[in-house]
Structure formats: structure tokens, C-alpha cells
Amino acid sequence: MQLEWIHCLSGRHGSISAFPAEMLAEKGAPGVAFRRSGAGIKISPDFRAKNISVDGKPTLASVYLEPGVPAFLRMGKILLALCVTDGENNTWAAHYRFPLWTLFEPETFEPIATVRTPAEIARTLKNKKLRPEDCLAAPYGLTMTIPLPQIFDLL
């Protein structure tokens, strides 16, 4: 079992296969610990960490990641896409293409636009006369979305 991650704003990626493991937030600030738990991984925020959220929901307690179910982890200004895998079947990110992002309509999941970089999202919203609250966002090729207001300050 391993935890694969993609830094959604830089395109860097990696994996963690030795647990327990820690990951710091930006500039070495306290972040999270990862521990095996049954078939998955538990994310536990450091009690000193600030602005930790999983899938757009602020968290102070541990969050369980099921195998094969991707999730977003935000630590301050860092946004990661994570997925617990068996280390061989890497299909969750097979179509990922950095730095592209797609905006979706939140009720129908119909694509609104694909932008070349996250920096273009604000201009696209303005051109289409939309607010961040009107959209879900996803790094291109990942089968997961996050409400745009949860990450808009990062873009």
C-alpha cells in the first residue's frame, strides 16, 4: 500500500510507502501525519497546524482515506491530490495533465471551461460572468472536484 500525491499548483508528484510519515505545510510549518489504518490511511493534522482541510472541509481530527478514492488535502497554500493505491494500479492519475484545470457546473457536472493554467481561472469566470460559488474545479484528468471557493485564494 502507498499514498500517491500530486501538488496541484506545481505539478510535482510522489508517493509515500513507509508509514507513519509526516508532511510539512509551506515554509516548514506543521502539517499532517499519515498512518496505516486497516486497508487505508489516516491523515492526522498536527495540533499546531493551521488551515488544514480535506476535500474542502476544515479538519482538526483524523480523516480516513479509502483505497482508490482520491481526495484533496490543503495545508495552508499547498493543495495536494492524494490517493491510496496498491503501488501498481495508478489509474487514478493516468490522464492528469499539468497545468490544465477544468471548471464544472456544480449540479450537473457539465464542463464549463478548461484553462491552460490555474492563473486563468479568474479571467475565465469574469468572461463567462460566473462567481467562484458557481463552479467546481479539478486538475485536468483527475476524477475528483472541489468547490472553487475552497481554493480560489490559491490561484
109 forms beta bridges with none
Inter-residue contact 67 to 1 (CB < 8 Å): yes
pLDDT digit string, tens, across residues 24-47: 998 889 999 999 999 999 999 999
Inter-residue contact 106 to 147 (CB < 8 Å): yes
Which of 2.60.120.200, 3.30.720.210, 2.60.200.20, 3.40.50.1100 would CATH assign to domain 2-87? 2.60.200.20
Which range has the worst mean pLDDT, 74-78, 84-88, 92-96, 109-113? 84-88
pLDDT digit string, tens, across residues 55-70: 999 998 999 999 999 9
Residue 91: predicted pLDDT: 85
Mean pLDDT over 99-122 rounds to 94
Give the predicted TM-score (pTM) of the model.
Answer: 0.92
